[in-house]
Structure formats: structure tokens, C-alpha cells
């Protein structure tokens, strides 16, 4: 009778020990996920309602995306993920390692972020899907009224002047573009 009771107590003790080990492992995993999320949380966000997610130095908001101090609109933005497989030299390293490239392309800019995926590139793909989901179409100027056309022309003049100031356009190219905006043939 005592041997049966001793076996029952030992079996219960073993189950409690296994449950304790499993609970500690789950607690460790939750703690690590919390600290990772805390490390990726932006320090200065004006409105947390606008924040969608962060990934590898990129912050996605509902209407814009940031990389460091660069802020870009989501108008016309497209995100894609590509992978290149590199065979590991040492088989004990766990097999093959993939370089995962997240490419975010805007109307006149492009960012490429390289990450490494040992197991899965799922997180990179989900971030790209979020960027594509929040992307907006490029607004097209409407030629309905005179004031709208003037405002659009003024904005285009400013863009052209900015391009000339940065050295992208020469003075001749600038004057040609201005004459096209005004609708007068250049002589």
C-alpha cells in the first residue's frame, strides 16, 4: 500500500515538475516578446493611433513611413520581398541561411533593407503586406476650375524651382519646363 502511494506521489511530482518547466519556458518567451516589442516601439510618437507597426528601423503609420529621420508619404508606395539562398559552410550551423531583402519603392525613391532569415521570412513578408495595404494611389491633379489649375501650376513651379536648386535641372531645362507649364512655345 505504501509503495503504491509512493509511486502516485512520485508521478504527481513529475507532472508538476514538467508543468513548471513548461510554464517557465512560456514566461521566458512572453518576456522576450515584450522586450522586443518595447525596443521596437518609437520613442516620440505624436499620436499612437496613427502608428501601425515597426520593423527593422522602419516605422509604418497610416499615412506615411519613416526610416530614421526620412519621412515618406505612402502615396504610390509598393513593398516587395526577395530572398537569396546561401549554403552554410558548416553543416552544424543549421543548414542554409537566407538573405531577405525588403524593397520599398515610392514614386521617386527606393529603400532596400537587408535582413537574415534562418528559419522563416514571415515577419518581413507580413510587414511588406502591411505597407502595401496602407499604400494610397498617387493623387492626380484635376483641371476643373481656374483656381485649382493655378494652384497646381504654382506647386509645379515650386517643384521645378526646387529641382533646379538641387542641381537636377539645368537652367535651360528649367526654362523649357516653365514655358510648357505656361503653355507658351519657347523661342
Residues 30 and 90 in one domain: no
Q: What is the pLDDT of residues 6-26, one digit of tens each?
A: 899 999 999 999 999 988 888
In a domain, 63, yes or no: yes
Residues 27 and 60 in one domain: no
Domain total in the chain: 3
Residues 55 and 126 in one domain: yes
Residues 118 and 171 in one domain: no
Residues 96 and 156 in one domain: no
In a domain, 141, yes or no: no
In a domain, 187, yes or no: no
Residues 121 and 173 in one domain: no
Q: How far apart are CA 77 and CA 68, in angstroms?
A: 18
pLDDT value for 90? 52
Closest CA to 70 of 102, 38, 104: 104
Residues 113 and 63 in one domain: yes
Q: What is the pLDDT of residues 21-73, one digit of tens each?
A: 988 888 887 777 776 666 555 555 555 557 778 888 888 888 889 888 888 98
Q: How far apart are the first and last CA of the chain?
A: 113
In a domain, 70, yes or no: yes
> Which of the listed residues 114, 134, 154 is the one where a domain comes to its end?
134
Q: What is the pLDDT of residues 117-141, one digit of tens each?
A: 665 678 888 888 888 888 888 766 6
Per-residue cell: 136 = 494610397
Domain limits for position 167: 146-182
Residues 31 and 99 in one domain: no
Residues 92 and 162 in one domain: no
Amino acid at each position: 500500500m505504501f509503495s503504491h502511494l509512493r509511486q502516485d506521489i512520485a508521478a504527481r511530482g513529475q507532472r508538476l515538475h514538467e508543468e513548471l518547466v513548461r510554464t517557465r519556458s512560456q514566461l521566458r518567451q512572453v518576456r522576450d516578446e515584450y522586450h522586443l516589442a518595447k525596443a521596437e516601439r518609437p520613442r516620440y510618437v505624436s499620436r499612437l493611433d496613427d502608428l501601425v507597426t515597426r520593423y527593422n528601423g522602419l516605422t509604418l503609420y497610416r499615412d506615411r513611413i519613416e526610416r530614421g529621420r526620412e519621412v515618406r508619404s505612402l502615396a504610390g508606395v509598393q513593398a516587395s520581398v526577395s530572398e537569396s539562398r546561401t549554403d552554410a559552410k558548416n553543416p552544424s550551423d543549421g543548414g542554409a541561411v537566407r538573405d531577405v531583402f525588403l524593397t520599398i519603392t515610392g514614386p521617386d525613391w527606393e529603400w532596400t533593407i537587408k535582413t537574415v532569415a534562418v528559419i522563416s521570412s514571415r515577419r518581413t513578408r507580413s510587414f511588406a503586406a502591411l505597407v502595401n495595404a496602407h499604400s494610397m494611389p498617387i493623387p492626380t491633379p484635376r483641371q476643373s476650375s481656374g483656381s485649382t489649375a493655378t494652384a497646381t501650376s504654382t506647386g509645379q513651379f515650386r517643384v521645378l524651382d526646387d529641382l533646379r536648386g538641387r542641381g537636377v535641372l539645368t537652367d535651360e531645362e528649367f526654362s523649357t519646363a516653365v514655358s510648357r507649364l505656361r503653355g507658351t512655345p519657347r523661342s
